[in-house]
Structure 1
Amino acid sequence: MHAWEQIQMTLDYIDEHLSETIEIKKLAEMTALSPFYYQRLFSRLVKKSVMEYIKLRRMAKATEGLLQRNKRILDVALDLGFSSHEQFTRIFKQTFDMTPESYRKNPVALNRMTKPQLSLNYTLIDENVPLISDGIVIEISRKKLLEPEYYVGLETKTPIQFIEGLGIKSGIDPLDKFWRNFHERKVNIPGLVNKGYEIGVAYPCIEEGFFVYFAGAQVKSPIILKDFSNWELQKGEYIVCSFETENFESLVMDGLYKAQQYLFNVWLPNHKLFIEPFSVERYESHDKEITSMEIWVKPVALKS
């Protein structure tokens, strides 16, 4: 058994026993490692300490439990192994900067710790061959765009801490409100393509610690519109990472994150491919029924 498989086994165990007391000694025994070496290997592969990871996974599950209105907040806390309402509230607030009561009254999209699927770091697929892993289907292919596509939308700066590392930094999703703002203003954009695509584009920001994010809708031709920005998806060859999950929330949270990690940290480096400094999330729409999307990147043509 590979080292990552041993750690994955304990990640699976942790998710199945979040309501119980989880001891590092027990996890280490499962991997046939000493507690010291188990924790060292866990931190290396998961980028979190064992206890920090368990805490953040409990908080991720808490965001789901709190949406069940028939459950008392105390019941949610007890179901996740917390000894009291006060302890649960304190850790929830530390994690998400809001109380469980506030979240229940006004649910917002929260970034939360994703359960890692470590096989994605060690499995290399050929083009046009699907990879199925823990509820996500990923396929990478090449597509040639024969004509440019034009988009009009909004831009914002976003801290890079929300896309760094393994897992997702916990907190309020900085892009959820931005997308909702764009959809409210989308009706003011003339020349929209009927059933056209929507895209989210990430590219470098001149301000250190941030990236620029563009959210836009497809239009028939380039237009200049006050308070809006433009993006051209240029014609040419692209590497496209298509992926599918069980529902829209999983798609834009866990699925998008894992697909990005696989494409940028595993697939592209192993194929020794360099890309232009932007990536495009391409959606048919943001309808809650959508369960698939694509990431488009443009390879750099290297001079021989």
Structure 2
Amino acid sequence: MNPVQKALWYVENHSRKGISLEQVARASCVSPYHLTRTFAEVFGTSLMRYVRLRRLSEAAKQLSEGASDILSLALDYGYGSHEAFSRAFKKEFGVTPESVRTLADLSLLPLMEPITMTSTQLPKLDPPRVETLPEMSFAGLVERYQSKSPAGIPNQWQRFSALLQHMPLLIDQNAYGICFNFDEEKGEFYYMAGVPVSKSAEIPLGLVRFDLPLQKYAVFHHGGHISEIRSVISAIWSEALSKSGYEPVEKPAFEKYGPEFDGQTGRGGFEIWVAIK
């Protein structure tokens, strides 16, 4: 059973308790950072948001069935007071617990049902090689995405490609997609479509500079089509990284596209670099 499946089992069996990220991570046998990245990559939402929505959804079902004491219900689902429960409930569903109990109607509420634990087939990856990357500077376009909807990244690369002719002298011919500032609560991250530049290079208007410090990485190569990148990343975080024995650290990860990668056809392969201890 991989970490996200263990996490799903733990959440569903402890949904009425005040579950912490650390507790779920221990039950899943990985670090909190590893688990939050894995869950977001596989399911497109943050783990703790899923925990919160599952508890509130089950509470909403009880309210629609006429739960008599909202304070007792709040305490049952890990909230310390009626006020805290009502505030969280209204923030997620846009209505108060009292109105759900009165109307006994859940049809308009975006309830979170349990995610089914499955053994979805992920691509098999070779064990990673380990590389230490020296300090590097990049210039590129940066956008913010939610894990559940990163579909704008290809368009971001198109816009960046049109600006390459104005770039200063490049260090090499590789391109990098850098993920950083991952928000474990919201499941959001920043993404740079960029190229390496010298530290002294002037950055054209509209682009930003990003510096990566010296860091060790587990490097996963995939020779398939670029359309497979989401499933490759899911395979890395949910299976391959754990099996490799390397522990990820909360530092930027990135995709590397070499000269052999053809942006027109999406072929040529790519690498995923994950920062490790």
With CA pairs under 8 Å and 6+ residues apart, which has the higher RCO, 1 or 2? 2
TM-score (norm 2): 0.49
TM-score (norm 1): 0.45
